[in-house]
Amino acid sequence: MLISLVRGPLRNAPALLKKPLKFAAASCVALGLIILVTWKPVIQMSKGNSGLSILWFALMGLSTAGWLASFFLIFLGRPQRSTGAVPVAMGGPVQRPAPRPVEAVRNVPAERFADVGGMEEAKEEIRGVVQGHLDPGKYQRYGLVRNGVLLYGPRGTGKTFLARATAGEFGLHFEYISAPKLLNRWIGSTGENIQGVFAQAAGHKPVLFFIDEIDTIGGGRQDAISDPGGAGREFNNITMALMSAIDQYRTISGFVLMAATNRMDGLDEALIREGRFDIKVRVDLPNEATRIKILEAQLNKKPWKRFDLQEFARRTPGAGAAKLRALVDQAANYALTDNRKIEAKDLRRALDANGGRDRPQLERVEWDDVVIAESVKQDLKSLIRLLEDPTRTHSLGLQIPTGLLLIGPPGTGKTLIAGLIASQTKRSFYPLTAASVLGGGVGDSVKRVAAVFARAKEHSPAIVFLDEMDGLLPATNRYLAQHDVQLVEQFLTEISSLQPENNVFLVGTTNHPENIDPRVLRGGRFSEKILIPPPDPAQRVQLLRLYLKGVRLEAGLTIEDIAKRLNGLAPADLQAICTAAKRMAFNRIANSDQLPPLNWSDFERATERVRGDVAQLDNTGLQ
């Protein structure tokens, strides 16, 4: 174990600590050998055999001489020199093998700025940085030599693609480094890897050195007081090693530094200041005009029959460059199957195959599955028409509401209506309840809410369904725990941050709207509210026909009679009563394979069973 410590975690320790440990390891070996040769059975064996006696004396002398020799070699011998020593910011220079080379792509990409749709201002800023290093004399005269371009924004918006296009535009070698691959478990090794890849890139000037996911090695530094384990100090050293390397290489002519992150707030402030990263470019989700340019740029790389791209840009609000590129690739695959050019129908097919397909726990709901008032049905159909084509809706001067609140007694089909909206609009569906967002750790519930909204934006068009909103977003007119307050505030933040291009629609249900935080119900959040009342007699007949389909009724008993007697019940109660009535009729079966006709007595007993009247009578009798 001492040897493994010296060769592993303590290999960079000072000699004052390493030498005693080495001598302790040598002493343990010598002591073990002496214990072995002085073992009573070994001594007895050596006395009875002259050859073993000679071996016994030789081992005793060897162990003693070896122990003494180790003392002189360890404490008085000259230290070995290593040609692979690299200075590390942990106690000065240390002897360490050279870091293993990190695999990287070294080439001039084929992409150009023309292949990047939009972002003209960002291209001009980047152009000024690169040209300042390709022609330093001209720019240094005016003091305009800058370096360090930080690309930040959501995932899939084309940050890496922009970096490749920059290298291709100016004929630079493209050194791509994935920051997580630089991490190493040994203390100080990550800093060496960082220094190594910078030096490696500098050897291929002119070069564009691109660090992807820089937040992995450039996170905010921790306070040493709150770091009793010491792991935080190593993370701080990694960040400082990165800053040191940037300071050393950014001034070299022909060395262009670029990095990307989707967690700008997670980076150390000293790392991203001017003087290290002079330009910060937000690569955001493209608008409709930019989406047209991106689609056209991607299609120009492939054989395509020119067609109007306005329709497809309009149908992809919230889509990033990566998603648009994937759609074009899928359309190209359809065209390749028929050995022809890409046509509009291929891109349309790709859109239909990908849009809103992330639907956990959702079964498709059709209009025939929902029995509601005609006025409610018309309101829902009108809303679905608005959601099916958001861009066309805006072009007509109409505005899509951010959220819809369904209000009504329990069991009236509010959850089913939410599934109907998601099914008919072909949207991703994310249900949220008070139980599903509850987390065991501090802040877990807030993180889960943020994660659901982020996932909905990524897989748009989407619907976020908030069931029993009075439990999720309670009003503040009563006592609330700190957890509930934080959860409500997080919901308000996420809802307020939704933009039309995110294409995320909110649907909520409640039995008690008065118990919901009024800030949630104001205009711009859940501004649309639809009342879902219990079914009227005609709707009850329609529901009973659906629930009793294929079931025989006793002569003289009609569905209309049952609907009149089961007055004021919700659809969920009607369905449960019909199921229980079939079970009551099943109890009368003797030796038949067919369910007997249902009579009114079956429905009476089923109603008592479902509504709890029998249990209530039993409780009264017990008293």
Per-residue pLDDT of 172-185, as tens digits, reads: 999 998 888 888 77
> Using N-to-C axis directions, what is the helix angle for 374-388 and 414-425, rounded to 10°?
40
**Taking the CA atoms of the chain, what radius of gyration do you get in angstroms?**
37
pLDDT of residue 92: 40
Tokens read off for 409: 């007694």
pTM over 0.75: no
Question: Side chain identity at 573, as an amino acid letter?
Answer: D
413: left (phi over 0), alpha (psi -120 to 50) or beta: left
The predicted model gives 79-92 an average pLDDT of 43
The predicted model gives 513-527 an average pLDDT of 83
* Displacement of CA 332 from its chain's centroid (Å): 28
Q: Which of 51-55, 216-220, 614-618 has the lowest mean pLDDT?
A: 614-618
| H helix count then E strand count, the chain | 25, 13
Q: Are 430 and 452 in contact (CB under 8 A)?
A: yes
Q: Is the pLDDT of residue 105 over 50?
A: no
CA–CA distance, 295 with 91 (Å, rounded to integer): 53
pLDDT of residue 546: 86
Per-residue pLDDT of 525-571, as tens digits, reads: 888 888 888 888 888 888 888 888 888 888 888 888 888 888 878 88
CA–CA distance, 256 with 84 (Å, rounded to integer): 27
Per-residue pLDDT of 108-118, as tens digits, reads: 888 888 888 77
The predicted model gives 203-222 an average pLDDT of 85
- How much is the mean pLDDT over the chain? 79
Q: Is the pLDDT of residue 123 over 60?
A: yes
pLDDT of residue 98: 47
CA–CA distance, 450 with 410 (Å, rounded to integer): 28
Share of the chain above pLDDT 70, in %: 83
Per-residue pLDDT of 562-611, as tens digits, reads: 888 888 788 888 888 888 888 888 888 777 778 888 888 888 888 888 87
What is the band of 120 on the pLDDT scale with cuts at 50, 70, 90?
Answer: confident
Q: Which of 561, 511, 515 is nearest to 541 (CA)?
A: 561
Question: Side chain identity at 95, as an amino acid letter?
Answer: Q
Backbone angles phi, psi at 152, to 5 degrees: -135, 155
Q: Which of 136-140, 224-228, 428-432, 442-446 has the lowest mean pLDDT?
A: 224-228
CA–CA distance, 183 with 193 (Å, rounded to integer): 8
What is the band of 332 on the pLDDT scale with cuts at 50, 70, 90?
Answer: very high
Q: Are 603 and 567 in contact (CB under 8 A)?
A: no
Backbone angles phi, psi at 545, to 5 degrees: -60, -35
CA–CA distance, 330 with 312 (Å, rounded to integer): 14
Tokens read off for 227: 């770091």
Question: Side chain identity at 324, as an amino acid letter?
Answer: L
What is the band of 106 on the pLDDT scale with cuts at 50, 70, 90?
Answer: low
